Structure 1
Amino acid sequence: MASKQITLQEAVDRIQILDEKLSHRLISLDPSGYFIIKLDHASKEIVVEHYSNDIDDLGRAIDPETGKPLDCKGERKRMPSKTFRGKSAKEIGIHLTEGVGPYLVSKLDHALYLGRELQKAEGCLLNTKQYIQD
């Protein structure tokens, strides 16, 4: 039985619907921390900042000083524990996952997410577009 051929727009629409659905699944934080990905268009580099995670019994990120859950729009400015800079998604990925540890990613789903985001960031860098991390 032959499969029905679909247009490029239909494929794009299907992917967007699927990605939206998958974005609403339950995920747990990586105990090793989280990353903020930015672009430095002046130097043509991807900048990745790592922040440590202290997690309570409910899986929420907490302030290590107070033990209270972190507010997404909190007043206190957190400082990254480590910053990586690179010209490509591959270069940053190698910094994060190869060489002498300790490694800052401890969950496979987190590693896959970072790979997707780094590729997206690289595309934005090459096309001088604004990058927004999912």
Structure 2
Amino acid sequence: MTQAVFNPTALDDKLSNRFIELDPSGYFLIYLDRSGGVICADFYTNTINEKGLACDPETGEPLPCSGGLKRQPSAVFRGRTAKELCIEVFEKPETCCITRLDHAAYLGREFVRAESCLFGDQEYVQD
């Protein structure tokens, strides 16, 4: 009997395409600042419309997934490691902007991926 080979990349790709309920408080854009040696997480507020789409709180228009929209972040977080960034985002009551546990879990995973890319000198692309 042939045993199937587990493909973690295929599983991650499949899971990345599932439906997710958006956090009504907002979303993060995560990227690396290599010159500063930090992981960056910029937080943007949004509203969620009746179709479940993230919308600009000022205009009510759906936010494009492809980028291009120039908005100012509501909060800016920086950390040299995933742990330091998690502490900044989640453990300071005055700055915590997460309302969903699945959003917090997603951010933790992304921060670890970003840290690995920062230390491994690889390109980081947010999932």
* TM-score tier after normalising by the smaller chain length: 0.7 to 0.9
Aligned residue in 1 for 2:118:
125
TM-score by length of 2: 0.88
Match of 1:106 among 75, 86, 99: 99
1:49 to partner: Cα distance: 0.3
Q: Which amino acid aligns with 1:127?
A: G
Deviation track 1:27-46 (CA, whole Å, cap 9, x = no partner) reads 11101110011111111111
1:21 to partner: Cα distance: 2.1
Aligned residue in 2 for 1:81:
74
1:73 to partner: Cα distance: 3.7
The count of aligned residue pairs is: 126
User: Is the 2:33–2:40 contact (alpha carbons within 8 Å) kept by the matching residues of 1?
Assistant: yes
Match of 1:54 among 36, 47, 60: 47
Structure 1 residues 93 and 75, CA gap change in structure 2 (3 angstroms): closer
RMSD: 2.0
TM-score by length of 1: 0.84
Tell which structure's C-alpha radius of gyration is larger: 1
Runs (5+) with no aligned partner, structure 2:
none
Structure 1 residues 102 and 129, CA gap change in structure 2 (3 angstroms): closer
Match of 1:21 among 14, 32, 39: 14
Deviating more after overlay: 60-69 vs 80-89: 60-69
Q: Which amino acid aligns with 1:56?
A: N
Deviation track 1:8-41 (CA, whole Å, cap 9, x = no partner) reads xx34x2x222222222221111011100111111
Distance across 2 between alignment mates of 1:116 and 1:20: 14
Distance across 2 between alignment mates of 1:38 and 1:76: 17
Deviation track 1:36-82 (CA, whole Å, cap 9, x = no partner) reads 11111111111110000111122111122322212234654011101
Q: Which amino acid aligns with 1:106?
A: T
1:116 to partner: Cα distance: 0.6
Structure 1 residues 56 and 84, CA gap change in structure 2 (3 angstroms): same
* Identity between Structure 1 and Structure 2 (%): 48
Deviating more after overlay: 45-54 vs 20-29: 20-29
